[in-house]
Structure 1
């Protein structure tokens, strides 16, 4: 029997994160989406309390933990932290990549700064002409002695304007096999030849965390900036894929829970035809369906974290969880908007922002179509 009950230590940890964020961001960070300013003070408070380093090794100032604890920490930060959740979700895969594949010099320079309240590294993989087709990337590098000269560009780079450096995937044009041609470089954003433009996002003219296009023109970096092993970039990307999926799934569940709670509370308060709308069966059906979907998503998250922590094969589970939760949170948000009705459409209700912002989860980090394309053959293989 698998018991997903959180331990007393885990409960205390989540309560500590919640209290920290409610103190520093009493409005849940909603004001940041109006001003376009990132709440650095709240992020620093998380770092000062040791929450930013969860899941990272002790030697870098982190606190090792199991995957369930990391998942619940990300869920809690996503529920109460507004834009700081983007930093934390980005740091889960990128900073662990640095700990696993980086040199001591790279770890000292970037990871310890992050644990102390600096921004995470951004990840430069998607390009204007290659999104889901990662192996088709055109950004390339050539060697000039011990200097790599990188040319190309990246697109949809999350936190590119806030990060101090970007993990850039570039290909060696001399290697024919595209999956063996990729190399990760850590490129400081102030390196000559790097230009970053902040892109507008659907529903926002400005936002507290950025999505950027990155131009790389004759960017010269030393061999010491390689992250891990040359030509092993694609394998390194896959190595910590589970952590990225944990961040994806727990983040959207947090959004679904917030929207559901707002809708349920409103259903008790809003009076029409002489009674609260929560007494009408059609509204009750929406409330029940939202609750079922959240329960299903939580069960998928628990199971995924448990299988990671017990070293089981999760290739199918990650695809199913990413696909189902990305779709289902959008269904929950749609029902929540329907319950909220006018106040969900007119004004500045957070569920309206969720409705716009969260649609990207079915594209970012692997589209629905790619999840199906990669997962279905693995399922069918079981029945050959």
Structure 2
């Protein structure tokens, strides 16, 4: 459902204030400790941020795509770790269940995801299967009223915190395509499920990823999303457009934060007797960043409107994700350059953001995957005339 404009404005203003007054001051602490304080997690639960896109009948707010984008712009303004904590519950960790889950599965898990009682995790990537998700090797063998899962998942976001994993495994051992893949709902603590140590990453401290290992992990047959074998990859594909637009909005918000920091620094920092903001070459970097961030914002908002109108936006969502994730990398690079030597120092946020935003060009589909999606869509349309 769509909120009335006044309610949406109130929600956006609340999130904006919370981000800028509460989360931004905590960024250094999160980076140093590699953890989000427990009281912040509780506050985000209280605000309903874990269930923004989950339907109201299951305890969520029920934001549509355009509304989610507006909130994501605000969340992107601070460290990605905060968004990462709630992102899976609102995105790939719940949307497959919302779209393809049985009523029993929805009733069992969605209210707990919406409240933040459960943290969701999306276990698709493997040591040998990333962009080529159809080549995954994790197996799910039928054994009476259960399936037995074996395999290893890699770089799984929120795995150390997760209470519920959406696990993709091959139920048809004779298939070597995505058609033999099913999606399972597996609760943390299930015997045979082990989470490895936290990954040590380039950036995004506080956003935890880890391996998830399945060794003869038995789950009931009704743990398959929708109760149907072989639909797992199709379920994953259905949630991609929304996920890509969400990340595009986060990239745009991060770019706007970097621009604000760069402009403030340029107006305060003096060289040759005047603020460096007066120098035309610095102005050029600021202007280029502003124009690119504005282009991304327009692209994401327009694609969100089209999706809410029921249009197929797979090509446009891929365009937005490709452009916005590449754009924020360029903006971050200029931000460091404007800060000069200070931009290389950890006391300034631009140094951290420079590392943090690099990941956006990789997950939810690499830039190269987006290029392939876009080009194939163009060719397909051309052939159709």
Equivalent residue, structure 2, for 1:302? 301
Q: Which one of 29, 44, 47 corresponds to residue 46 of structure 1? A: 44
Corresponding residue for 1:337?
336
Let me know the Cα RMSD of the aligned residues: 2.0
Find out whether 1:224 has 2:229 as its counterpart.
no
Q: Are residues 1:184 and 2:183 paired?
A: yes
In structure 1, C-alpha distance between the alignment counterparts of 2:67 and 2:366, rounded to whole Å? 26
Instruction: Give the direction of change, closer, same or farther, for the CA distance of 1:351–1:127 in structure 2 (3 Å limit).
Output: same
Mapping of residues 201-280 of structure 1, within 5 Å: 201-203=200-202, 207-228=205-226, 229-280=228-279
Instruction: Tell me the residue number matched to 1:14.
Output: 12
Q: Secondary structure at the match of 1:148?
A: strand
User: How far apart, in 1, do the equivalents of 2:148 and 2:99 lie?
Assistant: 25
Deviating above 4 A after TM superposition, structure 1's stretches of 4 or more consecutive aligned residues are: none
With the length of structure 1 as denominator, give the TM-score of the two structures: 0.93
Q: CA deviation at 1:328?
A: 0.8
Structure 2 residue matching 1:63: 3-state secondary structure: coil
Cα distance change, pair 125–377 in 1 and its aligned pair in 2 (3 A):
same
Question: How far off is 1:28 after superposition?
Answer: 4.7
**1:217 is paired with a residue of what secondary structure?**
strand
Matched, 1:57 2:55: yes
Contact 2:255 / 2:293 at 8 angstroms: preserved in 1? yes
Contact map agreement 1:167 1:186 (CA 8 A) in 2: yes
Query: What pairs up with 1:1-384 in 2 under 5 angstroms?
Result: 7-22=5-20, 24-25=22-23, 27-80=25-78, 83-93=81-91, 94-176=93-175, 178-203=177-202, 207-228=205-226, 229-384=228-383
Distance in 2, matches of 1:327 and 1:119, equals 32
- How many residue pairs get matched? 378
2:19–2:77 Cα contact (<8 Å) kept: no
By percentage of residues, which structure has more helix? Answer: 2
SS at structure 2 position matched to 1:187: strand
What residue is the counterpart of 1:3 in the other structure?
Answer: none
| C-alpha separation in 1, matches of 2:344 and 2:275 | 20
SS in 2 for 1:291: helix
In 2, distance between residues paired with 1:341 and 1:378?
A: 42
Q: Is the 8 A contact 2:325 2:361 kept in 1?
A: yes
Secondary structure of 1:27's counterpart equals helix
For 2:199 and 2:137, locate their aligned partners in 1 and report how far apart those are by CA, in whole Å. Answer: 24
- How far apart, CA to CA, are the structure 1 residues paired with 2:109 and 2:27? 26
More deviation, 50-59/345-354? 50-59
Distance in 2 of aligned mates of 1:274 and 1:21: 36
Moved more, 342-351 or 124-133: 342-351
CA contact (8 A) 1:22 1:28 kept: no
1:256-310, CA deviations, whole angstroms, 9 ceiling, x for partnerless residues?
A: 1111110011010000010000111110000000000001100111111011011
- Give the TM-score normalised by structure 2: 0.92
In the aligned structure 1, how far is the partner of 2:44 from the partner of 2:21?
Answer: 11
Q: 2:75 & 2:167 partners in 1: Cα distance?
A: 27
Q: Which moved more, 1:319-328 or 1:171-180?
A: 171-180
